Amino acid sequence: MGDPRKTRKQFKRPLKIWNTASIAREKILKETFGLKNKREIWKTETSLRKKRHSARSLLALPLEERLKREKELIGSLSRVGILTKDAGLDDVLTLTIESFLERRLQTMVWRKGLANTTTQARQFITHGHIAIGGKRVTAPSYMVTAKDEGKIGYYAGKKMILKPVIKNAKKEEKKKTIKEEFEEAKPAKAPAEDAVDVMKAVKEAREKAQAEAKGEKGGEEEPAKKEEAAKEEPKKEEKPAEEKKEEPAKEEKAAETKKEVKK
């Protein structure tokens, strides 16, 4: 048997890990069911492989023994909720990995509306907020049986809250009806359009006031500029007259200097 402390691997890795088709498929499964890593996919694949192998081996047995062991195999799958009691070996051979992943506690919590996403469901389970029949379960990969499916809820000490708290369809429907009523009771012109019209009117009034203020300032400034220009003009005219007076005085001085030189 071996040492129980050293358990064997519960899964078998695929032969071709770097296959593009398998990588894409595993990525989709990991995202949809909120799995931690690909080992969880490989574990479910090994359990599915075992069930198929046992179904194929039963086909080679005699009829009496096959019927007896067939009931045991289908009973084990029906207890988990994967198949019904009326199923046969052909139904076992047509099973997929999704049928096993749907029965995990993580996906059941998400399907029931106790969590918004699969990752949030995993967080609730690992933190000890989910219980089955009043007993806390902290394993996201726990396979929920058909009997315990209706006993999943929030764990709050000794009490159990079976109703979903995060999502409430009735509240969403009420919100939708209120929105529809509000849209029907709206006026012909939306309040946003009224606000835009008011802003335009305010802008126009401001522009008019600014234009009038500029016009008044311009009217006051124009006569002042004219007066200043009129004062400056005579000064400009006076300058050449003074220059004319200075010219004869200069000529007289030059003549006197010439006379002195001759003497």
Which CATH number fits the domain that encloses residue 137? 3.10.290.10
Same domain? 108 vs 94 = no
pLDDT at 24: 92
Same domain? 50 vs 83 = yes
Last residue of a domain, one of 167, 182, 208: 167
d(CA 95, CA 147): 21
In a domain, 190, yes or no: no
State the Cα torsion 14-16-22-24 to the nearest 10°: 120
Chunked mean pLDDT (size 10), the chain, 263 residues: 69 86 92 92 92 91 88 91 90 92 94 93 93 92 92 77 54 52 51 58 79 66 60 53 58 70 58
d(CA 153, CA 141): 16
Query: Which of 100, 96, 124 shows the shortest CA–CA distance to 110?
Result: 124
Same domain? 75 vs 109 = no
CB proximity list for 62: less than 8 A, separation 6 or greater: none
Same domain? 97 vs 23 = yes
Same domain? 158 vs 77 = no
The CA-atom distances, in angstroms, between 177 and each of 174, 190, 191, 228 are 5, 20, 21, 76
What total of structural domains would you count in the chain? 2
What is the pTM for the complete model shown?
A: 0.57
Q: How many helices (H) and strands (E) does the chain have?
A: 9, 4
Last residue of a domain, one of 116, 144, 167: 167
Q: State which residues form the domain around 84.
A: 7-101
